[in-house]
Amino acid sequence: MKKPILQKISFQKILLILSILINVVLTIIIFATINEKQIYTYFNSDTLYLPSIYKDLFIDKSGLAGWHLNGAPNFLPDMLLFFIVRSFFNHFIPACFAFSLIQLVIILILLSILYKSIFKSINYLHLSFAIVLMSFFLLATLVNDDFVYTFYLLSISYHLGVFIMLLISFIFLFKYIKSEKIIHIIILFILSIISIINDRLYIVMFSLPIYALILTLFIKTEKKKQFIKILIYNTLSIFIGLFLFRMLRLSGYVHIIDLSWKVFNFNNIIPALKTFIEQHTYYLKEIDFRGIINLMFMVSFCIHLFFLLKNLVLAFNKKDYNQNEFIYLLLFTPTVLIILVTPVINGNYISWALLRYNIYSLYLGIFSYAFLVYKLNIKIKFSINYLSLIVVLLLTIESIYIIKKINENNISEGLTNFMNYYPENVKCIDELSKEEVLKFGVAEYWKAKYITMFSKENIRVYTVLNNLSIWYHVMNQNWYYKNKNGVFGNPEFNFIITNGINNQEIINKLGIPTDTISCNDNWEIFKFKSFQFDNKTRKPSIVN
Mean pLDDT to the nearest integer, 276-282 = 97
The DSSP letter of residue 352 is G
Mean pLDDT to the nearest integer, 173-189 = 96
Neighbours of 158 (CB within 10 A): 22
Confidence class for position 1, pLDDT limits 50, 70, 90: very low
pLDDT at 460: 97
Name the pairing type of β-strands 440-443 and 493-497: parallel
Instruction: With CA atoms as reference, report the closest residue to 391 among 22, 10, 3.
Output: 22
pLDDT in tens, 447-494: 999 999 999 999 999 999 999 999 999 999 999 999 999 999 999 999
Q: How far is it, in rounded angstroms, from Cα 185 to Cα 208? A: 17
Task: Identify the bridge partners of residue 526 per DSSP, sorted by sequence position.
Answer: 496, 516
pLDDT at 7: 59
pLDDT at 119: 95
The DSSP letter of residue 255 is E
Q: What share of the chain is helix, strand, coil (3-state, %, to 5)?
A: 65, 5, 25
- Of residues 21 and 221, more confidently modeled: 21
| 47 φ/ψ sector (left φ>0, alpha ψ -120 to 50, else beta) | alpha
> If 0-12 CB within 10 Å is exposed, 13-18 middle and 19+ buried, where does residue 108 land?
buried
Q: How far is it, in rounded angstroms, from Cα 341 to Cα 333? A: 12
Confidence class for position 218, pLDDT limits 50, 70, 90: confident
Task: Identify the bridge partners of residue 531 per DSSP, sorted by sequence position.
Answer: 493, 542
Instruction: With CA atoms as reference, report the closest residue to 143 among 404, 356, 410.
Output: 404
Mean pLDDT to the nearest integer, 294-316 = 96
pLDDT at 262: 64
Q: In this structure, is the dihedral angle defined by the CA atoms of residues 63, 66, 69 and 74, taken in order, positive or negative? A: positive
Q: How far is it, in rounded angstroms, from Cα 223 to Cα 380? A: 30
Q: How far is it, in rounded angstroms, from Cα 450 to Cα 431? A: 16
pLDDT in tens, 493-529: 999 999 999 999 999 999 999 999 999 888 999 999 9
Confidence class for position 4, pLDDT limits 50, 70, 90: low
pLDDT at 527: 96
What is the longest distance spanned by two Cα atoms in the chain?
91
For 56, residues 6+ apart whose C-beta sits below 8 A from its C-beta are 62, 63, 67, 476, 486
Classified as helix, coil or strand, 11 is helix
Q: How far is it, in rounded angstroms, from Cα 121 to Cα 8? A: 14
Classified as helix, coil or strand, 534 is coil
pLDDT in tens, 398-429: 999 999 999 999 999 999 999 999 999 999 99
Type of residue found at 268: N
Type of residue found at 473: H
Q: Which of 22-26, 103-107, 434-438, 498-502 has the lowest mean pLDDT?
A: 434-438
